Amino acid sequence: MPLRILGMSNGADERGRRFQPLRRERLYESLATHISDFIEAQGLTPGDRLPPERELAAELGVSRATLSRALAALETKGRIEVRHGVGALVRDTSLAATTAVALGLEVRERDEVLLAREAILAGLARAAASNGQASLKLALLADDGTPRTFVDTWRCVRRLASSPVLADLDDTLVAASVTPEDTPAMRRHLDELATAILADDPARAALSVTGMLTDTR
Amino acid sequence: MPLRILGMSNGADERGRRFQPLRRERLYESLATHISDFIEAQGLTPGDRLPPERELAAELGVSRATLSRALAALETKGRIEVRHGVGALVRDTSLAATTAVALGLEVRERDEVLLAREAILAGLARAAASNGQASLKLALLADDGTPRTFVDTWRCVRRLASSPVLADLDDTLVAASVTPEDTPAMRRHLDELATAILADDPARAALSVTGMLTDTR
DNA sequence: GGTTGTCAGGTGGCTAGTCCACTGGCATGA
DNA sequence: TCATGCCAGTGGACTAGCCACCTGACAACC
């Protein structure tokens, strides 16, 4: 291993270097970050259009080719969608949407996705039953006596569970499936779930999720 | 929440269109796929180098700029790593490695990741108990009477569950955590799991996972 | 009035050619 | 022998230009 630096007083690392190799970021990478920040800063929402390439390139002081690479990277990341003859459109940038695409979930069997989501929901239910504060759990009960819907219930449960990782995974799978219908069977499941969580019973909460998504079809 | 359901039974969709807009693939996207396939076909392993850009561009019949966009996309996907003055190097392409980075799991709390993984494993356990064929389940039993290790057991369970989605999610979380130690408590969990699966008891199998990862710490 | 066809202008897609910056190996010479 | 310096090969980035595509306005037609 040839040494490249001469005077080696004190700060050298195990390979005899005093300096880090100065990881150089390529222009298109910085650009991608910059544009992503721009989208954020401007509060652009899905569907909004970025300025035309020529204009954007001039404004950023780079060539169209470089900008194009940056846009390709952003498109690969799912941050934008570039349409020929139209422009670069901001996309839904939630972890859910992007990861679902990355995982190629859209080609998988529907039922399998539902099964996976059930597992995630069971985990959320368990966490909600064991972690949540009693006062927050009351949100599971509807105000006027009518039962909570599927979406409402799980929004509550997710808040109670306070587990970003599980929530993210759930988002991922949501993007690859559809919201279940509000059938009587579903309502029974949701009631059982709410009861179990209010009773601080994690095992029962998790169990109540079984078949919630897969039975109703 | 945009739904992206594929099969549209017979007629027009919600916007009155009978045909999808015919998603046109750009050259750089096809190129990226093509190169990725090339890596696969050639059996290139992490560290191997792709041909030089000029050479590759000529061989593929595209300009360097376009090839460059494709390489940028592949780099964004984590398939390759491009180094100035060196070339394009093949990277570790496992779903686990790439998705974990994409999810930014490394910054999350360890315990939370473990909790999430438990939920996934519970789902796998449940699927294994209800789906697997009896003959395959025998693999859960060690040949010489010694207990299966954590890794062995779950490899079996994953095969039994035959749920690529859950397996992928598990891989994702594995990459963000560590393999648990082989403690007595762990062995009890694994025994209970194997017993439940052999008894075709999904609920018990799922339950047996509770605390498998989180109790031992 | 409503429908249809046309077309211009704006947009991204892609190419070719050129020069710059970086890396690594090798010939050189102390 | 070995440190030095050079240089061929590599990717990075730019410029200039043409092509393909999409949209919307508007004319032409029922």
Q: In this complex, do B122 and A123 lie within 8 Å of one another by their Cβ atoms?
A: yes
Q: What is the pLDDT of residue B217?
A: 44
Q: Would you place residue B176 in the very low, low, confident or very high pLDDT band (cuts 50, 70, 90)?
A: low
Reported in sequence order, the residue ranges of chain A that DSSP labels E, i.e. its strands, are 80-83, 87-90
Same domain, B126 and B186: yes
Same domain, B98 and B141: yes
Same domain, A101 and A130: yes
Same domain, A75 and A119: no
Res B124 pLDDT > 90: yes
Which range has the worst mean pLDDT, A159-168, B54-63, B179-188? B179-188
> Number of structural domains, chain A?
2
* Cβ A126 vs Cβ B122: under 8 Å: no
Q: In this complex, do B5 and A178 lie within 8 Å of one another by their Cβ atoms?
A: yes
For the stretch A143-156, pLDDT in tens is 655 557 888 888 88
In a domain, B126, yes or no: yes
Judge whether residue A1 contacts strand D, using its CB and a 7 Å cut-off. Answer: no
B25 close to A (CB below 8 A): no
In a domain, A65, yes or no: yes
Tell me which of A76, A79, A82, A91 to substitute to probe the interface with B (most B C-beta atoms closer than 10 Å).
A76
Same domain, B69 and B44: yes
Q: In this complex, do A73 and B77 lie within 8 Å of one another by their Cβ atoms?
A: no
Distance of alpha carbon B173 from alpha carbon B180, whole angstroms: 13
The larger pLDDT score, comparing residue B144 to residue B185, is at B185
Nearest-CA distance from A135 to chain B in Å?
A: 23
Q: What is the pLDDT of residue A204?
A: 93
Same domain, B134 and B54: no
**CA-CA-CA-CA torsion sign (B160, B161, B162, B164):** negative
Contacts of B132 (CB under 8 A, 6+ apart): B160, B161, B162, B197
The larger pLDDT score, comparing residue B15 to residue A49, is at A49
Q: What is the pLDDT of residue B41?
A: 87
Q: Within the 166-185 window of chain A, which residues sit less than 8 Å (CB to CB) from chain B?
A: 166, 168-169, 172-175, 178-179
For the stretch B26-82, pLDDT in tens is 889 899 989 988 988 888 888 899 999 999 999 999 999 999 999 998 888 778 889
In a domain, A16, yes or no: no
Res A113 pLDDT > 80: no
Q: Which of A95, A94, A77 is closest to A31 using CA atoms?
A: A77
Q: Would you place residue A201 in the very low, low, confident or very high pLDDT band (cuts 50, 70, 90)?
A: very high
Distance of alpha carbon A99 from alpha carbon B167, whole angstroms: 15
Judge whether residue A52 contacts strand C, using its CB and a 7 Å cut-off. Answer: yes
Q: Find the nucleotide nearest B88 (Cα to C1′).
A: D11
Same domain, A106 and A200: yes
Q: Is A153 helix (H, G, I), strand (E, B) or coil?
A: helix
Nearest-CA distance from B41 to chain A in Å?
A: 21
A154 close to B (CB below 8 A): no
In terms of residue numbers, what domain contains B85? Answer: 27-90
Same domain, B150 and B48: no
Q: List all nucleotides in chain C with at least one atom under 7 A from a protein Cβ.
A: 9-18, 21-24
In a domain, B21, yes or no: no
Q: Would you place residue B2 in the very low, low, confident or very high pLDDT band (cuts 50, 70, 90)?
A: very low
For the stretch A30-86, pLDDT in tens is 999 899 888 888 888 888 899 999 999 999 999 999 999 999 988 887 788 899 999
Return chain A residues 88..127 having CB < 7 Å to nucleic acid strand C.
Answer: 88
Q: Would you place residue A12 in the very low, low, confident or very high pLDDT band (cuts 50, 70, 90)?
A: very low
Same domain, B103 and B63: no
Q: Find the nucleotide nearest A88 (Cα to C1′).
A: C12
Nearest CA in chain A to B106: A165
Q: What is the pLDDT of residue A13?
A: 40
Same domain, A150 and A203: yes
Q: Find the nucleotide nearest A6 (Cα to C1′).
A: D3
Q: What is the pLDDT of residue B213?
A: 83
Residue type at position A191 = D
Residue B60 sits in a domain whose CATH number is 1.10.10.10
Strand partners, B89: B49, B81
Dihedral angle over CA of B199, A114, A156, A98, nearest 10: 130
Same domain, A121 and A98: yes
Q: Would you place residue B22 in the very low, low, confident or very high pLDDT band (cuts 50, 70, 90)?
A: low
